[in-house]
Structure 1
Amino acid sequence: MSAAPSTASAGFSQEENFPLGILLAFLAFAGYSIMDVTVKMLVKHYAVPQVIVFNSLFAFIPIILYALKTGGLWRNLRTRRPQFHAARAFCGICSGFLGFYAYSQMPIADVYALAFTAPLFITALAVPVLKEQVGWRRWTAVGIGFLGVMVMLRPGSGLLNPAAFAALGGAFFYSIGMLISRLMRGTESSVSFAFYSTLASTLVYGSMMPWLGKMPTWPHLGLSALGGTFCGIAFVCLLTAFRKVPAAVAAPFQYTQIIWGVLYGYAFFGDMPDHTLFIGVAIVISSGLYILYRETRLGRQVAAQPVAEGA
Structure 2
Amino acid sequence: MTEQNTRLGVAMMVAVTFIFAAQDGISRHLAGTYNVYLVVMIRYWVFALFVLGLALRSAGGLRGALRTKHPLMQSLRGVLLVVEVWVAIIAFVKLGLVESHSIFISYPLIVAALSGPVLGEKVGWRRWLAIATGFVGVTIILAPGSGVFRPEALIPLAGAIMFAIYALATRWVARDDSGEVSFFWTGITGALTATAGGIWFWQPMSAGDWGWMGLLCLTAIAGHWLMIRAYEIAEASALQPIAYLQLVFGAIFGITIFGDVLRPNVALGAAVTVGAGLFTLWRARRAAQR
Structures share a fold, TM > 0.5? yes
Q: Indicate yes or no: 2:156 matched with 1:164.
A: no
Equivalent-residue separation in structure 2 for 1:175 and 1:118 (angstroms): 5
Report the equivalent of 1:29: 17
Report the equivalent of 2:98: 109
Report the equivalent of 1:246: 235
Query: What per-residue deviation string (whole Å, max 9, x for no partner) do you get for residues 111-162 of structure 1?
Result: 1111111111111112221232222111111110010011112113455434
Is 246-255 or 177-186 further displaced after alignment? Answer: 177-186
> Is contact 1:93-1:200 (8 Å) kept?
no
> Is contact 2:55-2:184 (8 Å) kept?
no
What's the offset of the Cα at 1:107? 1.5
What's the offset of the Cα at 1:230? 0.7
> Is contact 1:63-1:235 (8 Å) kept?
no
Change (3 A) 1:69 1:252: farther
Report the equivalent of 2:37: 49
> Is contact 2:64-2:181 (8 Å) kept?
no
Q: What SS does the aligned partner of 1:235 have?
A: helix
Change (3 A) 1:45 1:266: same
* Residue type at the aligned position of 1:88: R
* Residue type at the aligned position of 2:127: R
* Residue type at the aligned position of 2:141: M
Q: Indicate yes or no: 2:190 matched with 1:201.
A: yes
Q: Indicate yes or no: 2:202 matched with 1:213.
A: yes
Report the equivalent of 2:28: 40
> Is contact 1:60-1:232 (8 Å) kept?
no
Query: What per-residue deviation string (whole Å, max 9, x for no partner) do you get for residues 158-177 of structure 1?
Result: 55434321101111011111
> Is contact 1:52-1:201 (8 Å) kept?
no
Counterparts of 1:1-311 in structure 2, within 5 Å, are 17-71=5-59, 72-157=61-146, 160-299=149-288
> Is contact 1:17-1:244 (8 Å) kept?
yes
* Residue type at the aligned position of 1:235: H
Change (3 A) 1:101 1:162: farther
Please give the root-mean-square deviation of Cα atoms over the aligned residues, in Å. Answer: 2.2
> Is contact 2:141-2:266 (8 Å) kept?
yes
Task: Flag structure 1 segments of 5+ consecutive residues without an equivalent.
Answer: 1-12, 301-311
How many residues align? The count is: 288
Equivalent-residue separation in structure 2 for 1:59 and 1:177 (angstroms): 18
Is 73-82 or 220-229 further displaced after alignment? Answer: 73-82
Is 210-219 or 245-254 further displaced after alignment? Answer: 210-219
> Is contact 1:190-1:239 (8 Å) kept?
no
Equivalent-residue separation in structure 2 for 1:78 and 1:225 (angstroms): 31
Query: What per-residue deviation string (whole Å, max 9, x for no partner) do you get for residues 223-278 of structure 1?
Result: 12111221121111111111111111111111111221121112221113123222
Is 151-160 or 221-230 further displaced after alignment? Answer: 151-160
What's the offset of the Cα at 1:70? 4.7
Q: What SS does the aligned partner of 1:17 have?
A: helix
Is 273-282 or 135-144 further displaced after alignment? Answer: 273-282
> Is contact 2:66-2:181 (8 Å) kept?
yes
Query: What per-residue deviation string (whole Å, max 9, x for no partner) do you get for residues 165-204 of structure 1?
Result: 1101111011111111121124323233333223333222
Equivalent-residue separation in structure 2 for 1:113 and 1:238 (angstroms): 22
Greater share of residues in helix? 2
Task: Flag structure 2 segments of 5+ consecutive residues without an equivalent.
Answer: none
Equivalent-residue separation in structure 2 for 1:238 and 1:96 (angstroms): 18
Equivalent-residue separation in structure 2 for 1:111 and 1:191 (angstroms): 30
> Is contact 2:41-2:199 (8 Å) kept?
no
Report the equivalent of 1:7: none
Change (3 A) 1:185 1:57: same
* Residue type at the aligned position of 1:238: M
Equivalent-residue separation in structure 1 for 2:51 and 2:269 (angstroms): 35
Change (3 A) 1:69 1:204: closer
Query: What per-residue deviation string (whole Å, max 9, x for no partner) do you get for residues 72-107 of structure 1?
Result: 444344322211202212321221121111111112
Equivalent-residue separation in structure 1 for 2:63 and 2:127 (angstroms): 40
Equivalent-residue separation in structure 2 for 1:199 and 1:69 (angstroms): 16
What's the offset of the Cα at 1:110? 1.3
What's the offset of the Cα at 1:288? 0.6
Equivalent-residue separation in structure 2 for 1:139 and 1:17 (angstroms): 32
